[in-house]
């Protein structure tokens, strides 16, 4: 394993630490997984180091995918063009046939796609659990990928469209989550505990989470000092259910009643929020994962990102699962995030590219509680880095590096990926994952999953 010393030289460095400063022809040195030097000029050679030539490349923090469902790569383009709650019912129905091999094979392919697109941290919002085994398989596959991971194991205790097999009492779910965390601590690969953190949460309140569950989740999260992840106000139909059944004006208002918002919580989507709800997120330091491609694909609406940023809400970016995206490309997500706000406000200057790049790096890391660990290129942080080949025709010539990273770069421009000081990809070749094997295994898992799926 490649974790001793790494020096990347001759590259243009975008550390994401200040207002977009760039270091030309610089170097970054990593020792035992930690960044020890970021500077101009050449680096002295170290004995036994891995030396990577970064000429013609941009070095920046690895991207943070703040919300996805990894196994859903098996479900790309299966259900399209349907109303949100009907689509959700199909997704939940997968629980009736999902087995650990589907979860493992899908998660590995999802990790591979994230990794090849420059993502070094992925938040897996896990919500289909017909028994404890699928979560175990997912966590193991995330560990195998080498990526930094947040495993948000959420709970559904109610809801007409939730199959019985994946509905849990709070106590059953909490025991399973405690078992998972204990198992991981005992059996995880030596480097895995450092790379993986856990969260819990309601899945999509209020349609599959009772108020009692919400209060229990807050207690459980506080007791274990783990964060919360939830799908919040993704579609107007969810807000409508909240109004009709709970007499609350919005989902955040309902969550506030049950103590869910907080610095350790990340609310995926947050598309349909009132100005009061946006203020509440800012006041409680609740983070948001903005998932614009998924929101467009499902016809959900456009999240009030400009308003949230103005209010001081911490906003990260996510792809969401491939069942509503249909990929895991965070560069594409950045471009969509930028353009969507320009369209919404009919104002080309309403959002600047550096803010978008922050969402995909430093702000995303902070939103997941990893602000002291990764998200920037600076001494003392763990080495989650990517090198991008910017010599390609669609990127040249460079007039504005930051804008071009948001609006020109593609996932396939990522040349090298380092996560937690380990080189996971070099010159687009993966060092840990057997790419062809992962793809073949996912193809087999997809065939098996489709054969088991009842006709709609
Ligand atoms: Zn989601």
Contacts of residue 173, Cβ cutoff 8 Å, sequence gap at least 6: 129, 153, 155, 157, 200
Whether residue 375 lies inside any domain: the answer is: no
The Cα-based distances of 421 to 31, 47, 297 in angstroms read 8, 17, 35
Residue 355, CA atoms < 13 Å, CB-side half-sphere: 18
292 and 425 share one domain: no
Tell me: pLDDT of 296 over 90: yes
Tell me: pLDDT of 2 over 80: no
Tell me the pLDDT of the chain averaged across its residues: 95
Cα–Cα distance for residue pair 421/50, rounded to 1 Å: 11
Pairing of strands 414-419, 385-389: antiparallel
Tell me: pLDDT of 190 over 60: no
174: containing domain: 63-367
Cα–Cα distance for residue pair 330/415, rounded to 1 Å: 15
Distance (Å) from CA 53 to ligand 1 centroid: 38
Pairing of strands 5-13, 23-31: antiparallel
The Cα-based distances of 272 to 61, 134, 135, 240, 308 in angstroms read 31, 31, 30, 10, 12
- Give percent above pLDDT 90 in the chain: 93
Distance (Å) from CA 125 to ligand 1 centroid: 7
165 and 206 share one domain: yes
- The mean per-residue pLDDT over the stretch 113-132 comes to 97
Residue 278, CA atoms < 13 Å, CB-side half-sphere: 16
Cα–Cα distance for residue pair 272/302, rounded to 1 Å: 8
For 401, the token pair is: 């590096």
ω into 326 cis (within 30 of 0) = yes
- The mean per-residue pLDDT over the stretch 284-296 comes to 98
- The mean per-residue pLDDT over the stretch 140-156 comes to 96
What pLDDT score was predicted for residue 186?
58
Q: Torsion angle of alpha carbons 311, 314, 316, 321, nearest 10°?
A: -90
What pLDDT score was predicted for residue 20?
86
- The mean per-residue pLDDT over the stretch 394-404 comes to 98
Cα–Cα distance for residue pair 26/19, rounded to 1 Å: 18
Tell me: pLDDT of 130 over 80: yes
Pairing of strands 429-430, 422-426: antiparallel
Closest CA to 191 of 411, 26, 3, 45: 3
Distance (Å) from CA 58 to ligand 1 centroid: 31
144 and 226 share one domain: yes
CATH number at residue 317: 3.20.20.140
- The mean per-residue pLDDT over the stretch 30-57 comes to 94
Distance (Å) from CA 28 to ligand 1 centroid: 35
What pLDDT score was predicted for residue 245?
96
| pLDDT tier at 1, thresholds 50, 70, 90 | very low
354 and 391 share one domain: no
Tell me: pLDDT of 3 over 80: no
The Cα-based distances of 275 to 140, 236, 240, 243, 253 in angstroms read 41, 16, 17, 17, 11
Pairing of strands 287-290, 315-317: parallel
228 and 268 share one domain: yes
Distance (Å) from CA 268 to ligand 1 centroid: 7
- The mean per-residue pLDDT over the stretch 280-305 comes to 98
Tell me: pLDDT of 187 over 90: no
What pLDDT score was predicted for residue 191?
47
Q: Which residues are bridge partners to 154 per DSSP?
A: 201
Structural contact between residues 96 and 165, judged by C-beta atoms closer than 8 angstroms: yes
Whether residue 451 lies inside any domain: the answer is: no
Domain boundary among 343, 367, 391: 367
Whether residue 121 lies inside any domain: the answer is: yes
Distance (Å) from CA 16 to ligand 1 centroid: 27
What pLDDT score was predicted for residue 454?
79
What pLDDT score was predicted for residue 456?
61
Distance (Å) from CA 69 to ligand 1 centroid: 6
Residue 316, CA atoms < 13 Å, CB-side half-sphere: 34
- The mean per-residue pLDDT over the stretch 143-163 comes to 96
179 and 147 share one domain: yes
40-49, 246-255, 268-277, 313-322 — which is least confidently predicted?
40-49
What pLDDT score was predicted for residue 46?
86
Distance (Å) from CA 303 to ligand 1 centroid: 14
- The mean per-residue pLDDT over the stretch 84-92 comes to 93
What pLDDT score was predicted for residue 183?
84
The number of folded domains in the chain is 2
49 and 198 share one domain: no
Domain boundary among 315, 345, 367: 367
Distance (Å) from CA 126 to ligand 1 centroid: 9
What pLDDT score was predicted for residue 184?
79
20 and 114 share one domain: no
Distance (Å) from CA 304 to ligand 1 centroid: 18
How many C-beta atoms surround the C-beta of residue 345 within 10 A? 15
The Cα-based distances of 10 to 27, 42, 74, 325, 387 in angstroms read 6, 7, 40, 36, 11
282 and 394 share one domain: no
Distance (Å) from CA 176 to ligand 1 centroid: 21
What pLDDT score was predicted for residue 194?
75
Element (H, E) at 180: helix 170-187
- Give percent above pLDDT 70 in the chain: 97
The Cα-based distances of 31 to 47, 227, 389, 437 in angstroms read 12, 30, 24, 31
- The mean per-residue pLDDT over the stretch 259-264 comes to 98
Distance (Å) from CA 127 to ligand 1 centroid: 9
73 and 53 share one domain: no
103-117, 188-202, 234-248, 249-263 — which is least confidently predicted?
188-202
CATH number at residue 415: 2.30.40.10
Tell me: pLDDT of 64 over 70: yes
What pLDDT score was predicted for residue 188?
52
What would the pLDDT profile of 5-26 be if each residue is shown by its tens digit?
999 999 999 999 988 899 999 9
Q: Based on the number of CB atoms within 10 Å of its own CB, is 330 exposed (0-12), middle (13-18) or buried (19 or more)?
A: buried
ω into 17 cis (within 30 of 0) = no
280 and 159 share one domain: yes
53 and 77 share one domain: no
What pLDDT score was predicted for residue 193?
56
């Amino acid at each position: 394993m490649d974790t001793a010393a790494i020096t990347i030289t001759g590259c243009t460095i975008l550390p994401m630490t200040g207002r977009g400063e760039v270091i030309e022809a610089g170097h970054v040195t990593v020792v035992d997984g930690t960044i020890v030097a970021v500077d101009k000029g050449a680096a002295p050679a170290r004995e036994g180091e891995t030396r990577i030539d970064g000429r013609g490349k941009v070095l920046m923090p690895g991207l943070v995918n703040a919300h996805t469902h990894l196994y859903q790569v098996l479900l790309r383009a299966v259900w399209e063009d349907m109303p949100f709650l009907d689509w959700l019912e199909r997704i939940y129905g997968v629980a009736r046939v999902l087995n650990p091999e589907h979860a493992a094979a899908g998660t590995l392919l999802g990790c591979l796609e994230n990794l090849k697109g420059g993502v070094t941290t992925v938040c897996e919002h896990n919500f289909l659990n017909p028994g404890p085994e699928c979560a175990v398989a997912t966590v193991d596959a995330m560990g195998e990928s080498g990526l930094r991971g947040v495993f948000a194991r959420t709970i559904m205790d109610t809801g007409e469209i939730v199959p019985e097999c994946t509905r849990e009492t709070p106590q059953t779910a909490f025991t399973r989550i405690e078992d998972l965390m204990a198992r991981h601590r005992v059996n995880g690969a030596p480097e895995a505990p450092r790379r993986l953190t856990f969260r819990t949460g309601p899945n999509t309140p209020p349609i599959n989470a009772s108020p009692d569950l919400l209060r229990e989740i807050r207690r459980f999260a506080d007791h274990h000092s783990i964060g919360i992840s939830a799908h919040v106000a993704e579609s107007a139909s969810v807000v409508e259910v909240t109004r009709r059944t709970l007499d609350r004006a919005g989902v955040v208002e309902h969550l506030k009643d049950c103590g869910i918002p907080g610095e350790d919580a990340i609310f995926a989507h947050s598309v349909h929020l009132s100005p009061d709800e946006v203020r509440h997120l800012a006041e409680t330091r609740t983070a948001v994962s903005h998932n614009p491609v998924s929101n467009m694909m499902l016809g959900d609406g456009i999240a009030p990102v400009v308003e949230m940023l103005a209010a001081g809400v911490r906003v990260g970016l996510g792809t969401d699962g491939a069942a509503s995206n249909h990929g895991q490309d965070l560069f594409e997500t950045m471009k969509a995030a930028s353009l969507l706000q320009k369209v919404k406000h009919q104002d080309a200057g309403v959002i600047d590219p550096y803010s978008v790049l922050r969402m995909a790096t430093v702000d995303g890391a902070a939103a997941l509680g990893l602000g002291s660990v990764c998200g920037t290129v600076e001494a003392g942080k763990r080495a989650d880095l990517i090198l991008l080949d910017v010599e390609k025709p669609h990127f040249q010539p460079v007039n504005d590096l930051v804008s071009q990273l948001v609006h020109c770069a593609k996932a396939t421009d990522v040349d090298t990926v380092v996560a937690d000081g380990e080189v996971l990809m070099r010159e687009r070749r993966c060092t840990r994952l057997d790419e062809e094997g992962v793809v073949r295994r996912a193809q087999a898992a997809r065939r098996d999953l489709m054969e088991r799926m009842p006709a709609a």
